[in-house]
Chain A
Amino acid sequence: MADVLPREVLICTIARLLDGVRHVAVGASSPIPAAGAMLLRAMKEADGTVGPRISILGSVEHNFFTNGSAELFDCAGQGRIDAFFLGGGQIDGLGNVNLVGTGDYPRSSVRWPGSFGSAYLYFVVPRVILFREEHTPRVFVEKVDFISAPGVSPEGVFRSGGPVALLTGKGLFRFDKTRPGFELESVHPGHDLAEIKQATGFQFAHDAEPRQTQLPDRPTLDLLRGRVFDELAETYPEFAAQMRRELGAVDA
């Protein structure tokens, strides 16, 4: 049987971060967050309980909205969406996210697509998970060049949501909004604290010897490699096929 692939660790970590949510929304090209949400649903159903409702934007199969693209935001504004994922060209140590570009706005030296719904959803979705596989100093900067969405807000500003965690290809951080800042919670297999420090442009709290990210048990892996990859293939066929090829290669 194959070892656990790095992306399987990410998917299983996302499922743990989502535990307890009733409704999670996933962006259009986000196969790993979608897989994490689907895994949580499969685990809950295997336990005989009800899993989360999953809305995948841009999908016909996994999208319940009938009021156009405004409905997701209306839904979130009323507190009907418990969790959402945000990436970012840059993310800084205060949880600020930049989806617009580097250099001086508006004539950005590198322009990214834009802020999408982040400047709203980050304020009103209680459990926002920052997810970016690439863990390098160009992504995790001391201060973002443009704030698409701020990690924290001053007292008196309406804010029912915000970041709770940052998951990267190297580790998992928790966000402490009282400091505010990130704390390294665990390190993925094959990585270590020194490497993460070198790859992170902002200061973060950590234990002297951080623990390893929890690995999935056998039943969880079986669910993931069976039912979840089947479900995932409906919306992200190429990603599901690639995961299965990698598993096959490890097996062989």
Chain B
Amino acid sequence: MLSEPRAMAKHIEPGMRVALPVDYAGVSMAMTRPIIEHGAGDLDLVCVPTGGLQVDQLIGAGLVRTVETSAVSLGEAGGAPRFNAAVKEGAVRLKDATCPAIHAGLVAAQKGSPFMPLRGLIGTDLLRHRDDWRVIDNPLADGGDPIVLIPAIKPDVTIFHVPMADRFGNVWIGRRRELAAMAYASHTVFVTVERIVEENLLADEMSAAGVLPALYVTAVARAPKGAWPYGLWGEYPADSAEIARYAKAARTADGFSAYMAQAQMEPA
């Protein structure tokens, strides 16, 4: 169960559906470079529910076929430059969504159900461009009442970063419950952590409530400052200067390549 980032990245195969968390929930930036070095392409990314730096870098590296997301941006550093360029060139297929639709698809998978109904969406161009979403009349109403069905989202792989795991593979996710939703829905789950603790996290009721049990975890690797330049809840803030540096560098394909080639990728 204990692994290291490069070994985990080798399990990613071309054409896999990969789920990645929102920037504040615990992004495993430590896995980004190993994934790019491994080079499996045609990935279908699922951003839960939005994407940022990691998604932009995987797109910039040419590994992405589809992006299913509610948004991609670098937050205060502005738009995601490689994502925006790929959209303009038509280099990635977009599955534009809205946040609760991504959550609904994961919940359907978690329950082993084919879909989840979701309010809203009717009359949007999101719905018009999604041939995988369906509208039915609520079968429990007296008539009418259209509602959208969101098919289950079943990622092949989920990847995220959290403060700690124990040596049994139990992972501390605190109140970031979307990480659990992703794991429940996924076939394979790779987690990087700041540290691995000796005691069993399930032994104490206080910590057990915030634990994703090893049952759902494929492998764990230690990666100190593994979310950098993103921050990690309860641990360290985002390095906004570094994110801004990336945003500027990645405006061109050459600038992106130069940035990615630098040793600066490792935590300062």
Contact = CB atoms under 8 A, between A and B. Distances in A.
Contacts of B146: 156-157
Interface string B125-150: 11101000000000000001111000
Interface in A110-152: 111-124, 146-150
Interface string A149-186: 11001101110000000000000000000000000000
Label chain A's interface by main secondary structure: loop
A49 interface: no
A78 to B, nearest CB: 11
B88 A108 contact: yes
Interface in A86-107: 99-101, 105-107
B71 A115 contact: yes
Contacts of B75: 28-29
B73 A113 contact: yes
Contacts of A114: 50, 69-73, 96
Interface in B50-70: 50, 69-70
A73 interface: yes
Interface in A43-76: 58, 60, 65-71, 73-74
Contact of B120 (A74, A109, A124, A154): A124
A195 B33 CA distance: 52
Given A69-B49, A73-B103, A116 B98 contact: yes
A149 B125 CA distance: 8
A50 to B, nearest CB: 26
Interface string B184-211: 0000000000000000000000000000
B124 A153 contact: no
A49 to B, nearest CB: 31
Nearest to B137: A156
B177 A66 contact: yes
B177 A70 contact: yes
Given A69-B25, A148-B126, A123 B145 contact: no
A77 interface: yes
The interface size bin for chain B is 35 or more
Contacts of B50: 113-114, 116
Most A C-beta atoms less than 10 A away, residue of B72, B94, B124: B124
Interface stretch (B8-16, B79-87, B162-170): B79-87
Contact of B71 (A107, A113, A147): A113
B119 A117 contact: no
B236 interface: no
Nearest to B128: A147
A58 B125 CA distance: 27
B176 interface: yes
Contacts of A111: 79, 83-84, 87-88
B128 to A, nearest CB: 8
A116 B101 CA distance: 10
A77 B119 contact: yes
A69 B175 contact: no
B258 interface: no
A157 B122 contact: yes
Contact of A70 (B73, B79, B83, B100): B100
B123 A73 contact: no
A65 B233 CA distance: 14
A73 B100 contact: yes
A123 B49 CA distance: 19
B70 A115 contact: yes
A119 B71 contact: no
A99 B73 CA distance: 12
Given A148-B126, A150-B123, A65 B100 contact: no
Given A111-B83, A148-B126, 9 more contacts: A67-B177, A70-B177, A106-B96, A109-B88, A112-B79, A114-B69, A115-B71, A119-B98, A148-B124
4 nearest CB pairs, A to B: A114-B71, A68-B177, A113-B73, A119-B98
17 contacts: A58-B24, A69-B48, A69-B99, A69-B103, A70-B100, A73-B100, A113-B71, A114-B70, A115-B97, A115-B98, A115-B126, A119-B121, A119-B126, A120-B98, A149-B124, A158-B119, A158-B147
